[in-house]
Amino acid sequence: MFSLLQQARLQFKPQIPTVLQAVDETVLVPQPIHHHSSDQITERFPKTSGQQLLEIHLGSKSVSNALRVGVLLSGGQAPGGHNVISGLFDALKAFHPDSVLIGFYDGPSGVLTNKRVEITDKLLESYRNQGGFDIIGSSRTKIETEEQFLIAEKTVKENKLDGLVIVGGDDSNTNAAFLAEFFLSRGCPTRVIGVPKTIDGDLQSDLIEISFGFDTACKVYSETIGNLMRDCLSAKKYYYFIKLMGRSASHITLECALQTHPNLALISEEIAKEGKTLEGVVDSICDMVCTRSAKGKNYGVILVPEGVIEFIPEVRVLIEELNNIMSLKSSHHDAIDKEENKDTKIVMAAKLLSTAAQPCFLSLPKDIQAQLLIGRDPHGNVQVSKIETERMLMSMVKSKLKKRDERIKFDPISHFCGYEGRSALPSNFDSQYCYALGRVAAILIKGGATGYICYVNNLTKRVEKWEAGGVPLTQLMVLEKRHGETKPVVKKTLVDLEGNAFSQFHTQRAQWAVEDDYIAPGPIQFYGPPELTDGVPNLIQV
Amino acid sequence: MFSLLQQARLQFKPQIPTVLQAVDETVLVPQPIHHHSSDQITERFPKTSGQQLLEIHLGSKSVSNALRVGVLLSGGQAPGGHNVISGLFDALKAFHPDSVLIGFYDGPSGVLTNKRVEITDKLLESYRNQGGFDIIGSSRTKIETEEQFLIAEKTVKENKLDGLVIVGGDDSNTNAAFLAEFFLSRGCPTRVIGVPKTIDGDLQSDLIEISFGFDTACKVYSETIGNLMRDCLSAKKYYYFIKLMGRSASHITLECALQTHPNLALISEEIAKEGKTLEGVVDSICDMVCTRSAKGKNYGVILVPEGVIEFIPEVRVLIEELNNIMSLKSSHHDAIDKEENKDTKIVMAAKLLSTAAQPCFLSLPKDIQAQLLIGRDPHGNVQVSKIETERMLMSMVKSKLKKRDERIKFDPISHFCGYEGRSALPSNFDSQYCYALGRVAAILIKGGATGYICYVNNLTKRVEKWEAGGVPLTQLMVLEKRHGETKPVVKKTLVDLEGNAFSQFHTQRAQWAVEDDYIAPGPIQFYGPPELTDGVPNLIQV
């Protein structure tokens, strides 16, 4: 069922960048780019590395055959996914009314099982400008082995696909690059095109300004953060520890900080760079709390990226050592595992840790220590992701403050800004950006490009002025060691500590810590003055 | 600092009901009402009980002296508080430009300490249509003892107040009723007027359609719930257990259920009425999960009012018994308290419980058992409010499902819709409703009324048609036993299981359980078509 707002959004007509308006009048103009790919990448991608950037320009009208294209949504949802499909569909139909768009169900696995649906105008009708990925679903399956590539080839051949559009994050786009190379090497004519999706914002570069979904998610989170700040100012007695999504990078936290001005925001990348200890992080929070307390302010807001503790060097060491100690092969495993008394278990493990890891382990609250020893995954690995970082920090700050000064009032409340952000109704920005990305994918496929990822840039300008085209996927790749093997992968972009966004945050944060410079952006608006409805993430503005 | 939306909202001009537009042309028209007050209430309120309803009608222009009025905000925030003050201020100034509005800081305690500020147009400028209570703050202090009444009298005399407006929930309005009676009995001319505030919605009756803040809070929560539903539909692998505010009544949960159509919503009042056991509640969730699983749906959304476990009869008995066992006077207290081994502690306590309470205690997850024994308040009482009900239910459902059928996939995620709702930017409805309430308070004070609570009704109609006036506070009172003493108190209104809202929910919920009838209302809109911006809570529509 649709709410009134959802119904209204179904009717929303995304503005279209000028270069993408008449898709049958576009041409792909190759532009040389500096190839920074290593030899290893060139070797691995003999056919698709070294390709040029493709800019979409307006040209003269050209007649197109009907195209058959497949699309899949991969990984976690990001607001705007349905609009990528709409943009793609509308462009294919504009090329030729007999063009066909096939949606593969449940992500990459739909390609492996050939479970699919033809996307029709009728079907799309109920998904335009809506949140979620539910039109065809998604999954975290990967197409990455030779065997899977062969099955994928079979599927695209059976469906006579001219192109396959993979909407996904860094991993999915890595796989898209390999698949493109594989198809080319096999003489399979299906072009593979990636679309940059992830609310985490870690798929961006000088060639791709931002991934889609980031804008909406940050706006949803900033709405909540702003509300809790207002609560702080009124109740004057709580410290909110707000955990934000973003396991590998702190873009969301940084963006939300710029939107709302919290008293403190942890940026994982900075913590890693400075080699901060867990105690150091706790101390930095305590310092802020004490300074505010001296000013009579026993309230505040702290933003915590969900992945932060994995960026603390000593925690990394600790996790590694615990994984070794508790590995099924370890001689200690059985003894510790069998011990039923939690306290004894903890003492046993602590004794086995190095001097680099032991103090960190001993500084953790007891329930976290126990969790690290008990809650391991099927491979025996410590599940860092299960640790409720914000609650752990709350408890550690509380203990530490007690030692510093008993009289300091500290009443923390935790909040997790989670999946409500990734599945929200897309903002105007994401609606329009995604619709444009979909059109770009169609144009690239029509132009015969493969191994490319769509870009739409110049996003801080009016929509008409947005620029678009394709970046060779290999251009985003770096060599990384994963599971002991060096592999070319699409790079996850971390927060640039030399960049403008971080530097803006850095300049202002001392003031935010003590003053109440809070800003409440409020809920996303879809109607009204453009400055209220068409805002763009700070990260690309600064 | 203000966000763009906050700035835009500062400029918003609330529509004003026709009867409240020219405040100096209003008259108070007494209307007889059926007095259901008991003899004890009449005795306790010799001067203010038995007063008539006062309707505000338009009459001829009358000249007014300048009025001096005090206002305080009591208890938890509710969106719209600042607009009550704006409405009050604007009306007082319309009566006479020399009228003065004094805001008491930090709730009732400001009256006790005479800490105050004169509200000026300049000051109000930055608070119109904004969330929070921060213009003057709030607190949970009470003015309820004879001694406090005398201090309050001193304060209102020093400030030469014609009236004192108390913006609060049931408790604060109970105190307002006593204060009004006290002032009258002492010949103190200050009129006392209450304003119905609480996001919980439990201050409503046939005379007061709804308390303010409820609309905005439910819309904020429903936005989140709707987003998580969309997430369910896409990811198809999570069960969201969403806890909602509402300790004493489940109005918020019921309203959000009507707005979003969850697969299951617990209504505390129904559970109490049916005398359900905790196991029964867990079973009802398991039944739903199993039914959906049989249809291939291993995802869903469950709404849980935060106070639900206190409505389960056997849990009440358990808590009472634990409080006795663990009371400082109990002979068992020391032994259990000193025992360091959690498991032994639990066994010791369990042995002392009656057969009515023991099975319930034993059915609880171990960490909850421990929490009940350890986390007691300074009076030694079990802190039920600290129990994370949604997580407890998740864990109990998980264990139970395992016993029923190992193969059922059940991956629960908890979410708490908390203080972000009470401090949000007020919806158009709350902005306008509160502005009207403020004007009503001014008119009642000018008309010499005391011991009244403001009402604005007919709220499902266009704003012009809203009706307004005052209800004698004693009319909302009932006798209740609190701390062993029978006292007249303003009644907390629970969900009416015979009412239209519940019956609408009741009729549809079987379908919602199995089908995915989810609705995502999306974020509150302030611009655009009126049906998107001016929605009214379902609870007063049906």
pLDDT tens-place string over residues A100-143: 999 999 999 999 999 999 999 999 999 999 999 999 999 999 99
CB contact under 8 A, B231 and A261: no
Contacts A–B by Cβ distance under 8 A? 182
d(CA B341, nearest CA chain A) in Å: 9
ipTM for the complex shown: 0.96
Query: Distance between CA atoms of B257 and B222, rounded to whole angstroms?
Result: 8
User: What are the residue ranges of CATH 3.40.50.450 in chain B?
Assistant: 15-213+426-490
Contacts of A235 in chain B (CB under 8 A): 76-77, 138, 419
Q: Examine the pLDDT at A458 and tell me if it is beyond 70.
A: yes
Single out the catalytic residue among B90, B200, B215, B430.
Answer: B200
* Dihedral sign, Cα of residue B224, residue B225, residue B231, residue B234: negative
**Which of B133, B234, B261 minimises the CB distance to A138?**
B234
On whether the CB atoms of residues A412 and A438 are closer than 8 A, the answer is no
CA distance B106 to chain A (A): 9
Residue carrying structure tokens 């001016």: B534
pLDDT at residue B37 above 70? no
Q: Over the stretch A76-102, which tens digit does the pLDDT of each residue have? A: 999 999 999 999 999 999 999 999 999
What is the pLDDT at residue B154? Answer: 98
Torsion on CA atoms A38, A39, A42, A44, rounded to nearest 10: -110
Active site residue A430: no
How many angstroms separate the CA atoms of A498 and A493, rounded? 13
Q: B193, B166 in Cβ contact below 8 A?
A: yes
Q: How far apart are CA B104 and CA B113, in angstroms?
A: 9
Element (H, E) at B146: helix B146-158
Which contiguous run of DSSP H or E holds residue A513? helix A500-514
Could B228 and A532 be called an inter-chain contact, meaning their C-beta atoms sit closer than 8 Å?
Answer: no
CB count within 10 Å of CB A125 equals 10
pLDDT for the residue B328 = 73
Of the candidates A418, A423, A521, the beta carbon closest to that of B3 is on A521
pLDDT-derived band at B299 (thresholds 50, 70, 90) equals: very high
| B502 alpha carbon, distance to own chain's centre | 18
Residues of B with Cβ-Cβ distance to A137 under 8 angstroms: 234, 236
Active-site residue identified among A90, A171, A200, A215: A200
The rounded distance, in Å, linking the Cα atoms of B321 and B354 is 8
Nearest chain A CA: its distance from B324 CA (Å): 28
> Is residue B502 over pLDDT 90?
yes
Number of H helices, E strands in chain A: 22, 15
Check: CB of residue A223 under 8 Å from CB of residue A425. Answer: no
Share of chain A above pLDDT 70, in %: 99
User: How many residues would you count in chain A?
Assistant: 542
| 8 Å CB contact of A227 and B525 | no
- Residue A490, beta-bridge partner list: A477
A519/B230 CB distance under 8 A: no
Question: How many CB atoms lie under 10 A from the CB of residue B90?
Answer: 21
pLDDT for A375 beyond 80:
no
Identify all chain B residues contacting A223, using CB atoms and an 8 Å cutoff. Answer: 420, 523
Kindly report the average pLDDT of chain B as a whole number.
Answer: 94
Quote the CA–CA distance of A454 and A419 in Å, as a whole number: 26
| B488 beta partners | B479
Q: What is the DSSP code (8-state) at residue A386?
A: G
pLDDT at A7 over 80: yes
- How many CA within 13 A on the CB side of residue B40? 8
Cβ–Cβ of B233/A519 closer than 8 Å?
no
CATH class of the domain whose range is A214-422+499-541: alpha beta
Contact present, B285 and B302 (Cβ < 8 Å): yes
What burial letters (b/e) apply to A246-284, b meaning 16+ CB within 10 Å?
bbbbbbbbbbbbbbbbbbbbbbbbbbbeeebbbbebbbb
- Distance, in Å, from the CA atom of A254 to the CA atom of A218, rounded to the nearest integer, reads 10
The pLDDT tens digits of the residues spanning B139-194 come to 999 999 999 999 999 999 999 999 999 999 999 999 999 999 999 999 999 999 99
- Show the tokens assigned to B359: 């099975």
Residue B212 gets which letter from DSSP?
Answer: B
Tell me the chain B residues in contact with residue A226 when contact means C-beta distances shorter than 8 Å: 3
For A338, the 3-state DSSP assignment is helix
More confident of the two residues A175 and B247: A175
A334-365 pLDDT, tens per residue?
888 888 888 888 999 999 999 989 999 999 99
In this prediction, residue A325 carries a pLDDT of 86
The residues that bridge with B193 in the sheet, in sequence order, are: B165, B452
What's the whole-number average pLDDT of chain A?
94
Residue B14's pLDDT is what? 98
8 Å CB contact between A70 and A163? yes
Q: Quote the strand ranges of B359-435, DSSP E.
A: 412-417
Q: Are A69 and A163 in contact (CB under 8 A)?
A: yes
Amino acid, res. A523: P
User: Architecture of A15-213+426-490 per CATH?
Assistant: 3-Layer(aba) Sandwich (3.40)
Select from B234, B419, B423 the Cβ nearest to the Cβ of A132.
B234
Of B233, B415, B519, the CB nearest to A132: B233
Query: How many CA atoms within 13 Å lie on the side-chain side of A239?
Result: 29
Residues of chain A with CATH 3.40.50.460: 214-422+499-541
Chain A residues close to B415, C-beta within 8 Å: 416, 418, 420
Sign of the C-alpha dihedral computed for residues B252, B256, B258 and B261 taken in this order: negative
Separation between Cα atoms, residue A200 and residue A454, nearest integer Å: 18
Tell me which chain B residue has its CA closest to the CA of residue A134.
B234
CA angle B356, B360, B363 (to 5 degrees): 150
A191: closest CA among A315, A303, A61, A69? A69
Alpha-helical (H) ranges within A115-197 are 121-124, 146-158, 170-185
3-class DSSP state for residue B481? strand
Give yes or no for residue B446 having a pLDDT over 70: yes
How confident is the model over B452-470, as a mean pLDDT?
Answer: 97
What is the structure's pLDDT at A37?
66
HSE, CB side, 13 Å, CA atoms: give it for residue B421: 27
Identify the residue whose tokens are 């809109």: B525
Kindly report, residue by residue over A377-421, the tens digit of the pLDDT.
777 778 877 889 999 999 999 999 999 999 999 999 999 999 999
What angle, 0 to 180 degrees and rounded to 10, lies between the N-to-C axes of helices B389-404 and B278-294? 60
Residue-wise pLDDT for A226-257, tens only, equals 999 999 999 999 999 999 999 889 999 999 99
Measured between beta carbons, which residues in chain A are less than 8 angstroms from residue B230?
77, 130-132, 134, 423-424
Helices assigned H by DSSP within B186-312: 214-235, 251-260, 268-273, 278-294
Both tokens of residue A324?
A: 């070794």
Q: What is the pLDDT of residues A154-171, one digit of tens each?
A: 999 999 999 999 999 999
From A8, A236, A425, residue closest to B520, measured CB to CB: A425
pLDDT score recorded for residue A491? 94
- Inter-chain touch A133–B521, beta carbons under 8 Å: no
- Lowest-pLDDT range of A115-119, A297-301, B115-119, B379-383: B379-383
Report the half-sphere exposure of A31 (CA within 13 A, side-chain side): 13
Average pLDDT over residues A452-476: 97
Amino acid at A339: E
Tokens of A328: 């099924």
- Beta pairing class for A452-457 and A191-196: parallel
Which pair of tokens denotes residue A66? 């009907």
